[in-house]
Amino acid sequence: MATAFEVTYEDIERLTDIQLTDVLRRLLYLETAAAGIPASSVAVPLKIYVSDDGEDGRVRWSGGPDQTDWLPKRFTLFQCKATDMPPEKCKNEVYKATVGRRGGGTEVRNHSRISRELKPQVEEVLNANGAYILFYGRNCNKSHQRPRVEKIREALAEAGRTDAATAHVEIFDANKIASWVNLFLAAAVAVCQYAGRSLPAGIQTWQGWNRYKTKPIPVRP
């Protein structure tokens, strides 16, 4: 049985896409702080419903350690997915979506038509010998990760990359994400709240405390 703050893969699977992205944001700031990497190295926009060009979060730094336990490269790019991602979908995820136009010039992204060009940020991190990580909020063991990684490498090859077989491509599934979260109490509390778990009285994130109106403490004369 999980302790009050121990996060399980089931908790990670309950997260929505924006919650999963927020958990990634928390983890990146906590991980870089623990490793002495400047917080300015982290970028995680939470506007997830606009085109991300293949990126939901990144860390890029110079100086300090070459890697940490959870950041395999000085330039590590994350793409968050809170829904099921079969192998073929993983492959298509690194491609640019084709863009059509409606009347009036409005752009429409059509994910049913795939270009065979990599998304710009995926291209950027691979060109810099960085790591591309699918931050996948589903239970996905090594045997199930293998065909997904193979499909991503297939996409790299079809895009003409000579490093398709050697590029650093990895999946952090719900189990691995839970293990990372459990290293940091602040991240664990956030996941527990998102997942609807009851917590000991008084334990909340800053966002939780912020819901309450501040009341001045009366001062006795």
CA–CA gap between residue 98 and residue 117 (Å, rounded): 10
Residue 54, in any domain of the structure: yes
Q: Cite the DSSP H helix spans in the chain.
A: 9-13, 17-35, 87-93, 120-127, 142-158, 174-181, 185-194, 206-210
pLDDT band at 55 (very low <50, low <70, confident <90, very high): confident
Residue 49, in any domain of the structure: yes
Average pLDDT over residues 72-84: 97
pTM of the model: 0.82
- For position 45, what pLDDT does the model report? 84
- For position 27, what pLDDT does the model report? 98
Top pLDDT among 116 and 54 is at 116
Residue 220, in any domain of the structure: no
- Look up the domain containing 44 and give its range: 9-210
- For position 127, what pLDDT does the model report? 98
CA dist 177 to 38, 98, 158, Å? 22, 31, 30
Residue 219, in any domain of the structure: no
- For position 108, what pLDDT does the model report? 43
**Whether residue 82 has pLDDT greater than 70:** yes
pLDDT band at 206 (very low <50, low <70, confident <90, very high): very low
- For position 54, what pLDDT does the model report? 72
Residue 215, in any domain of the structure: no
Q: Residue 212 forms beta bridges with which residues? A: none
Token pair recorded at residue 119: 């998304």
Residue 98, in any domain of the structure: yes
pLDDT tens readout for residues 104-152: 554 445 444 566 899 999 999 999 999 999 999 999 999 999 999 999 9
What is the residue type of 90?
C
Spatial neighbors of 182 by CB under 8 A, at least 6 apart, are: 5, 6, 7, 188
Residue 216, in any domain of the structure: no
DSSP string, 172-206: E-HHHHHHHHTT-HHHHHHHHHHTT----TT---H
- For position 217, what pLDDT does the model report? 47
Residue 217, in any domain of the structure: no
What rounded mean pLDDT belongs to the chain?
A: 85
- For the chain, the domain total comes to 1
- For position 151, what pLDDT does the model report? 98
pLDDT tens readout for residues 184-201: 999 999 999 999 887 765
Return the closest-CA partner of residue 131 out of 115, 145, 152, 146. Answer: 152
pLDDT tens readout for residues 40-53: 999 998 765 555 57
